[in-house]
């Protein structure tokens, strides 16, 4: 299959820390993962790992945290 996975991730505040939701689509296929992270650096690391598992290098990360 020549179509690449497209990954969209959202970093948001959660009661137990920061929640990172990663969602990937390829045609009619979908997969996702949700993890709690300590900050944006760890979020990018988790996104990179998720992308690597799917065999792609790029992802879109949207930061929805409240401004402090």
Whether residue 53 lies inside any domain: the answer is yes
Longest dimension (CA), the chain: 44
Is 68 part of any domain? Answer: no
> Is 55 contained in some domain?
yes
pLDDT-derived band at 66 (thresholds 50, 70, 90) equals confident
Q: Examine residue 1 and state whether it is found in any structural domain, yes or no.
A: no
Long-range contacts of 30-38 (CB under 8 A, 24+ apart): 37/11
Q: Confidence band (pLDDT; 50, 70, 90) for 65?
A: very high
Residue 14 falls within a domain, yes or no? yes
Number of domains composing the chain:
1
Confidence class for position 2, pLDDT limits 50, 70, 90: low
Note down the domain range covering 26.
Answer: 6-63
Q: Is 29 inside any structural domain?
A: yes
pLDDT in tens, 9-62: 999 999 888 999 999 999 999 999 999 999 999 999 999 999 999 999 999 999
The answer to the question of residue 11 being in a domain is yes
Nearest to 11 by CA among 39, 33, 53: 39
């Amino acid at each position: 299959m020549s179509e690449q996975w497209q990954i969209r991730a959202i970093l948001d505040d959660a009661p137990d820390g920061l929640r990172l939701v990663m969602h990937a689509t390829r045609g009619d296929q979908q997969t996702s993962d949700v993890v709690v992270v300590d900050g944006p650096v760890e979020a990018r690391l988790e996104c990179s790992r998720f992308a690597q598992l799917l065999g792609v290098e790029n992802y879109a990360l949207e930061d929805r945290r409240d401004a402090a």
